[in-house]
Structures are given as structure tokens and as C-alpha cells.
Amino acid sequence: MDTSLKALRYFMAAANSGSISEASRQLNVVPSAVLAAVNQVEESFGLQLTTRHRAKGIAPTATGKILMGRIQHLLDEYELLMVQGAEMRSQLVGTLRVGYYAPVAPAFLPALVADLLRDNPRVDIKLTECDTHTAQAGLLAGDFDVILCVAESLAPTVTYETLVEVPAYLLLPQDHPLASRPHLSLREIDGETMVLLDLPVVSDYYSRIFNEADIAPKIASTATTLEMVRSLVGAGVGLSLLHMRPVTDLTYAGQRVVGVPLSPAPDPLRIVMGHLPDSPRRLVTAFTDQVRALFARDGGRRYLVTPAMALGSRTTSKLKPLP
């Protein structure tokens, strides 16, 4: 005959208190329930574990005392298991897989990851750099839980929300004659040498706005990473067009670059967060909530270069780090 954890708990209360009635009072049950539990435990083991006395007194036998230690250990382990289970419900657990578009997410994604991992040590996060098409395909294939990308040819089966609309700005070496201007038009850089980011979406975007402005800049170099473009600009190879601003105006090589807003501003790129419409895991919900909160605080303005907030000072002071 199997016994239950409740019966073991009742048995321990009776054996420790020495009284069926006292155990029933402690457990807030009727005495007959305690007595039935003691009988059940003894029948399960096929051993006499207690001796009964008049006036409902009860005491463990020598065998009962030996088993009491093991029963108590079992009950303690069960309580610990339940506590740990509750903690796991309150803490986030598992792997979060995020696909991100390289030119935009590095400005804000690391801070979000750090916050999530600090509060949830059982979480690990896998970040995969990709273009918008690959990000969407990965989400639909189950390779990603969340994607952060540019709103371009969005799949209708994915749930998207706009995080921020990002205007293009010009990036110049700090010592460039135009670097001190509060804003520039594309016409004013006609004939300048350019360094461009060569990635899906942005390459087409550059071609479109150059055609609309009726200019034909000289392309000295292209690169597939944002930091290489910034470093080439810092080295004086040419100017560039970018969207999201880093939190520093220094390149990897230590040269200072300056962001100047475009006026009139071309159509911005729309940065979106996507996930599947099915009810997501708690971990996915927590991450998407953090992303929303980050952009809700100031509309993402800290990552933009607009006439009111150009990247880089006109002196040699550094940008303040993000809070």
C-alpha cells in the first residue's frame, strides 16, 4: 500500500508531539485524520512504528525513530523542491534567440541583454546578426524568438510593432570643413567622396535618396559593417550616410567623427520588433516589454541625429554614456 506525503506529514506531527490530539490541533484537522494517517504509514512499511498509550498518547518505536529521520529528510526535500519550483516560476528560465539587423541593434541591444541577464541568471541569450529577410525567415522557421530589423517587405504572418523611425544623417571626420554645420543638404555634398554601408535595404535606400536629390557622389569604398564605415570616415576616406548613432563619437582607431543632420530630411527607416502571433513564452514577453519600455522613455531620440541633437559635440568633449 502506497502512502502519501500528507500522511507522512501527519505521522511526523503525531510522533513528534506525542499526541494525536495535539497533532490534529497543529495541523488543523480532526484527530481521526491523524490516526488514519499513522495507520496508513505503518501499513505501507509493514512495520510497527509507534506505540499507543491511554489518553491518545503516541510514541515512536526504535524502528519508528530510525525511519522518522528519513521521512523528515524526504519532507524537507519536497519542501525545497516546491520552493525551487516557485522560484523558477518567478524567475525567467531558458534560451532567448534574437535575430537583429546589424546597423541598428548594437546601439541599444547590449544594454537590454545586460539588464535581462542580471535579473535572471538562468537565462542565456543567443544573438544572431542578419539582414531583414533572413531575420524574418529565421523567425518563421523557429530559429528566432524575436527579431529587430528594418520595416522592409514585412511578412504578414509576423506580428510587428514600430520602435522608432530613424532619419539618415551624414557622418564626417571631425576636421572636415562641413563638420561644424548644424545641418546639411544632400546637394551640398554633391562631388564629395563617400563611404557607404553595403547591406540589403540600406544600399537600395542610398540609391533612392541620391536619385531623388539628383546627385552622383563618388563612392570611394563600401563596407559590410557599421564600425568599418565609421573607421573609414574617421581616417578621412570619405563621408557616409548612417541612421542609428552609437553612444560614442570615437572610431575603433580612436579618431573622432561627427554626425550632421540632413535637411531636408529624406524618408526615415522604420525599425521594428517582430515575433510570432502565438502566445509567446514568458521570457519572450519579458524581453519585448523591455524593448518597448526603452523606446517609450524618450522615443528613441538618444539613438538619432536630428537638427536638435547632432552626434558629437563641436568641441572635443565625449558623449555621455547611456544611463
State the pLDDT at residue 62: 93
CA distances from 305 to 81, 163, 268 (A): 52, 16, 11
| Domains of the chain by start residue, with CATH | 5-90 (1.10.10.10), 94-165+269-300 (3.40.190.10), 166-261 (3.40.190.10)
State the pLDDT at residue 83: 73
| Residue pLDDT, tens place only, 48-81 | 999 988 765 899 999 999 999 999 999 988 988 8
Q: Does residue 193 have a pLDDT over 60?
A: yes
Whole-model pTM? Answer: 0.68
Q: What is the mean pLDDT of residues 17-24?
A: 92
Mean residue pLDDT across the chain: 87
| Residue pLDDT, tens place only, 95-137 | 999 999 888 788 889 989 999 999 888 899 999 999 889 999 9
Neighbours of 181 (CB within 10 A): 18
Q: How far apart are CA 304 and CA 292, in angstroms?
A: 17
Strand partners, 124: 95
